[in-house]
Amino acid sequence: MRTSQPKTIYLSEYRVPDFLVDHVDLRFELFEEGARVHSTMTMRRNPEASGSGEQLELNGDSLTLESVHLDGRALQAGEYEDRGEWLVVPSVPDAFELKVVTWIEPQNNTRLEGLYKSSGMFCTQCEAEGFRCITYFPDRPDVMARYRTRIEADKAAYPILLSNGNDVDRGDLDGGRHYVTWEDPFPKPSYLFALVAGDLVEQRDSFTTLSGRDIDLRIYIEPRNAEKTDHAMDSLKRAMRWDEEVYGREYDLDIFMIVAVDDFNMGAMENKGLNIFNSSCVLARPESETDMAFQRIESIVAHEYFHNWSGNRVTCRDWFQLSLKEGFTVFRDSQFSADMGSPTVNRIENATLLRTAQFAEDGGPMAHPVRPASYMEISNFYTLTIYEKGAEVVRMIHTLLGPELFRQGSDLYFQRHDGEAVTTDDFVKAMEDASAKDLGQFRLWYEQAGTPELVVEDDYDKAEQVYRLTIRQSIPDTPGQTDKKPQHIPFAVGLLDTEGNDIPLTLAGESGSGEPTRVLELTEREHVFEFTGVGSRPVPSLLRNFSAPVRVNYPWNRDQLMFLMSHDSDGFNRWDAGQRLAVDVIHEVSGHAETEVDPRLINASRTLLDDRDADQALVAKMLQLPSEAYLIELAEQADVQTIHHARERVLKALATALRDDLMACYQRQQPAESYQVTPEDVASRSLRNMALAWLLHIGDEEARDLALAQFQSATNMTDQSGALRALVNSPFEEERSRALDAFYQQWHRDPQVVEQWFSIQASSPVSGDLAAVRRLLEHEAFDWKNPNKIRHVVGAFAGQNLVHFHDQDGSGYQFLADTIRRLDDSNPQIAARLTAPLTRWRKFAHVYSEGMRKALESVRDKDGLSRDVYEIVHKSLA
């Protein structure tokens, strides 16, 4: 906890470390009342350092220092200085061995950074700066060392003792204790260190690499979760094969381990050879987890595995380079997911997340470039911009280079920088060197924050058969950045003729007939492209497959949008046209109770619903109305209640008009014999549950009976919770509360299902008002120490239940502020995450923004605010 203003750290002030660590020998003595950590570091002066630092400075946080030895000699008071956040040894030789003994209390560690306890087991989270909560160390990613780790603990309570690398020694100790020693042959930064000790069961499998090496795969879980590891194990093996085939990357240790823990601040962590996962991101079986969970697990298991190369073998020089590993790895995991499932649906999901949440971040007070220039607390920069926009930036390089040259670039990157800590610029340079493509201007994507906006105009010259596109780009100002330079944007376009076919694209000056899709490279503020040989006025299909993370502004009329919906050869743009049409219709009825819902939207939806030949995965996506969050993002000054009611009116009009079609769709999508997570089956369940939800939303009694029957008889959680959610968001109060009670009775022993039960209620626009949410906080299953529970109640309310969170009396805001104040002392990372919904107060109409600002001020005025929350609140109010 701090009292003064936290310091800002600047990229421009980066200096190489004064000292390097070649080897670390760690010995952990784990006890119930604490842990003693013996660290012996083999260190030397960095030959590349400027020499300014005579003294040795090590990071530390919440440590009790017991002793310091330099080259075997105990240092006396005065020979070192314990400054709390730093351990300073004023005088050291050029090469030496430093031994530090510290005492820590994992059992009291509620921040879940460093070494802590989660349902009885010891575990760690060191990224970004958690290792300094374990021992004094140069805790920065450009200090890479070899680790040897000995763990000692009570043998009965902690039979399993894990760390990175290979286990090289084990044995028994006095007093019923035992030890295991691990050695990691690969030098790594401290943020990749991990330790686990617990009473766990192990699920084993193996994988043979392309070069014929056998890898031992192990997933460690609490015994009650023994049935939930198959999906993660299969996903892991698919990811390992995929990375060999697509990137030529093999696994490099003999063992790969995954551990599931219940209390975890984030999703998962790629520690070398020992990935640690939030239970909800790794454990699943069909009866208790939904399709969404299965898909999330596949992509996160792959993501963490892919980090072994993009992150671990080649790591980040400093935390400003975080997107070097995260952007690239998200890009890799999304390529993988696309290959495993439906590429179009995958792209729609990426774009939805980006356009809804990342664009919002880019337009708010925390906007920052993919490579930030400064921060106060690095934990606040694990953002959609670093991860998702960073992945889009890598995707654009892939688009500009094409798959072959991109692969040559990634090969060069891994080969050139293996074992190094590097920068995003090194990544771009490798891509440039391998392809000979000039990415000079492209680098602005890493430096400039904000979402570029493209304004597109067109005209058609019948006599000349020329179609002209004029494209202007601009990037809005963001905190600390104005007057931005134009960026290098790959802009994929197609033109549809009157039949709906792609016109082969030929630009003026070219000969022959060209491709159906062209990637135009925008580099100037304004471009004019002339397409020749265009026989009739086309309908433009712009930014195909979402080729860049930008907004596109072009005045399609509703008939053109319907035309694109049914004819565009680009699946993403068929979906996007539908979204634009729905947005347009919602806007039209917004605040106008007498305006009818355009029958064209209803007809287009009916066509989709009744079309059995169409790709059902795409149909399921196309039928979803744009979310409230997206509509807010599109607004200048969002009026949440008006947006909610307009969207409700359109939804109800659709459900009412399509009642029989929905019923037929429901009946048609019968559950498959056995549960599988194929795109077809997922789409079928999604359509079936959407039909049910829409019908219950308008109070259809026949649908209510179907929902009750489905709730009872479902053999998978997607269908059971789909029925529950539909009932909860229906006007049938009695059925709703009976189903909720029955569900809890059935599942109360499974915390992951209880999380779902919480979030279905907390996010319900029908029944999840603030009073209901407060009751959930009093429920026996709620636990303030468990981040998942907080996310599924408070996070779900503030992030998804917009009509109740934005109650105009400001009670939702004050509730969130009180929650943040409460959590700030125990878990600052979670407190800071929860602050996000308030930070965008300027985006909302006055009736909302005043209350949001006041809530932020009440957080700001708390004594001893953590650095995490301080940074967000102060930047938001600035």
Catalytic residues: 304
In terms of CB distance, is 65 or 353 closer to Zn ion?
353
Contact window for ligand ARG (CB under 6 A) among 81-89, 96-104, 260-268, 393-401 = 260-268
Smallest distance from the beta carbon of 379 to ligand ARG, in angstroms?
Answer: 5
604 belongs to the binding site for ligand ARG (CB under 6 A): no
For the chain, the first-to-last Cα distance in angstroms comes to 22
DSSP 3-state of 458:
strand
Give residue for tokens 């019948």: 462
Q: What are phi and psi of 475, to 5 degrees?
A: -125, 125
CB atoms within 10 A of CB 727: 29
Residue 382 binds which entry of Zn ion, ligand ARG, none, with Cβ cut-offs from 5 to 8 Å by kind?
Answer: ligand ARG
Residue 487 binds which entry of Zn ion, ligand ARG, none, with Cβ cut-offs from 5 to 8 Å by kind?
Answer: none
Smallest distance from the beta carbon of 192 to Zn ion, in angstroms?
Answer: 12
In terms of CB distance, is 366 or 655 closer to ligand ARG?
366
Smallest distance from the beta carbon of 375 to ligand ARG, in angstroms?
Answer: 12
Biggest CA-to-CA distance, the chain: 95
- Member of 186, 193, 320, 382 binding ligand ARG (CB under 6 A): 382
In terms of CB distance, is 270 or 502 closer to ligand ARG?
270
Contact window for ligand ARG (CB under 6 A) among 91-99, 262-270, 349-357, 520-528 = 262-270
In terms of CB distance, is 267 or 514 closer to ligand ARG?
267
Beta carbons of 202 and 218 less than 8 angstroms apart: yes
Smallest distance from the beta carbon of 638 to Zn ion, in angstroms?
Answer: 31
Cα(149)–Cα(165) distance, integer angstroms: 9
- Residue 566 burial (CB < 10 Å; 0-12/13-18/19+)? middle
Beta carbons of 65 and 102 less than 8 angstroms apart: yes
Residue 817 binds which entry of ligand ARG, Zn ion, none, with Cβ cut-offs from 5 to 8 Å by kind?
Answer: none
221: which DSSP letter? E
Contact window for ligand ARG (CB under 6 A) among 97-105, 263-271, 428-436, 639-647 = 263-271
**Sign of the C-alpha dihedral computed for residues 130, 133, 134 and 139 taken in this order:** positive
Smallest distance from the beta carbon of 330 to ligand ARG, in angstroms?
Answer: 8
In terms of CB distance, is 148 or 371 closer to Zn ion?
371
Beta carbons of 843 and 363 less than 8 angstroms apart: yes
Cα(458)–Cα(466) distance, integer angstroms: 11
Smallest distance from the beta carbon of 871 to ligand ARG, in angstroms?
Answer: 14
Cα(290)–Cα(90) distance, integer angstroms: 57
**Sign of the C-alpha dihedral computed for residues 770, 772, 778 and 781 taken in this order:** negative
Question: How many angstroms from the chain centroid is the CA of residue 759?
Answer: 18
Cα(762)–Cα(770) distance, integer angstroms: 9
- Interface mask toward ligand ARG for 123-142; x: CB under 6 A: ----xx--------------
Strands 421-422 and 315-316: parallel
Cα(40)–Cα(35) distance, integer angstroms: 16
Q: At 99, which helix (H) or strand (E)? A: strand 95-104
In terms of CB distance, is 61 or 628 closer to ligand ARG?
61
Give the Å distances, CA to CA, from 853 to 182, 477, 835, 848. Answer: 51, 21, 12, 9
Residue 266 binds which entry of ligand ARG, Zn ion, none, with Cβ cut-offs from 5 to 8 Å by kind?
Answer: ligand ARG
Cβ-proximal residue to ligand ARG, closest one? 382
| Structure token pair of residue 768 | 């999840």
Smallest distance from the beta carbon of 331 to ligand ARG, in angstroms?
Answer: 13
Strands 518-522 and 489-496: antiparallel
In total, the chain counts a number of residues equal to: 878
267 belongs to the binding site for ligand ARG (CB under 6 A): yes
Name the nearest CA neighbour of 520 among 555, 551, 547. 547
- Member of 192, 268, 345, 396 binding ligand ARG (CB under 6 A): 268
Give residue for tokens 């560690």: 109
Smallest distance from the beta carbon of 395 to ligand ARG, in angstroms?
Answer: 17
CB atoms within 10 A of CB 560: 17
Beta carbons of 462 and 428 less than 8 angstroms apart: no
Residue 379 binds which entry of Zn ion, ligand ARG, none, with Cβ cut-offs from 5 to 8 Å by kind?
Answer: ligand ARG
Smallest distance from the beta carbon of 108 to ligand ARG, in angstroms?
Answer: 19
In terms of CB distance, is 329 or 337 closer to Zn ion?
329
Contact window for Zn ion (CB under 5 A) among 329-337, 453-461, 464-472, 762-770 = 329-337
269 belongs to the binding site for ligand ARG (CB under 6 A): yes
Return the residues of window 307-326 that contact Zn ion according to CB under 5 A.
Answer: 326
Return the residues of window 343-372 that contact Zn ion according to CB under 5 A.
Answer: none
Smallest distance from the beta carbon of 511 to ligand ARG, in angstroms?
Answer: 48
- Member of 232, 266, 394, 561 binding ligand ARG (CB under 6 A): 266
Per rule CB under 6 A, count of chain residues that contact ligand ARG: 11
Q: Is the peptide bond before 508 cis (omega within 30 degrees of 0)?
A: no
Residue 522 binds which entry of ligand ARG, Zn ion, none, with Cβ cut-offs from 5 to 8 Å by kind?
Answer: none
Smallest distance from the beta carbon of 382 to Zn ion, in angstroms?
Answer: 9
Give residue for tokens 């607390």: 377
- Member of 181, 295, 379, 839 binding ligand ARG (CB under 6 A): 379
In terms of CB distance, is 327 or 799 closer to ligand ARG?
327
In terms of CB distance, is 787 or 812 closer to ligand ARG?
787
User: Residue 73 forms beta bridges with which residues?
Assistant: 70
270 belongs to the binding site for ligand ARG (CB under 6 A): yes
In terms of CB distance, is 158 or 328 closer to ligand ARG?
328
Residue 267 binds which entry of Zn ion, ligand ARG, none, with Cβ cut-offs from 5 to 8 Å by kind?
Answer: ligand ARG
In terms of CB distance, is 128 or 658 closer to ligand ARG?
128
| Structure token pair of residue 529 | 């492209």
Cα(542)–Cα(715) distance, integer angstroms: 43
Smallest distance from the beta carbon of 666 to ligand ARG, in angstroms?
Answer: 38
| Structure token pair of residue 225 | 């979760």
Beta carbons of 157 and 264 less than 8 angstroms apart: no
User: Residue 14 forms beta bridges with which residues?
Assistant: none
Contact window for ligand ARG (CB under 6 A) among 264-272, 509-517, 576-584, 659-667 = 264-272
Residue 684 binds which entry of ligand ARG, Zn ion, none, with Cβ cut-offs from 5 to 8 Å by kind?
Answer: none
281 belongs to the binding site for ligand ARG (CB under 6 A): no
Residue 197 binds which entry of Zn ion, ligand ARG, none, with Cβ cut-offs from 5 to 8 Å by kind?
Answer: none
Q: What angle do CA 47, 51, 53 make, to 5 degrees?
A: 120
In terms of CB distance, is 112 or 601 closer to ligand ARG?
112
Q: What angle do CA 202, 208, 210 make, to 5 degrees?
A: 150
CB atoms within 10 A of CB 590: 18
Smallest distance from the beta carbon of 126 to ligand ARG, in angstroms?
Answer: 9
Cα(397)–Cα(409) distance, integer angstroms: 10
259 belongs to the binding site for ligand ARG (CB under 6 A): no
326 belongs to the binding site for ligand ARG (CB under 6 A): yes
Contact window for Zn ion (CB under 5 A) among 247-255, 328-336, 354-362, 851-859 = 328-336
In terms of CB distance, is 6 or 267 closer to Zn ion?
267
Q: Is the peptide bond before 128 cis (omega within 30 degrees of 0)?
A: yes
Cα(871)–Cα(9) distance, integer angstroms: 12
Per rule CB under 5 A, count of chain residues that contact Zn ion: 2
Which spans of this chain sit near ligand ARG (rule: CB under 6 A)? 127-128, 265-270, 326, 379, 382
Which spans of this chain sit near Zn ion (rule: CB under 5 A)? 326, 329
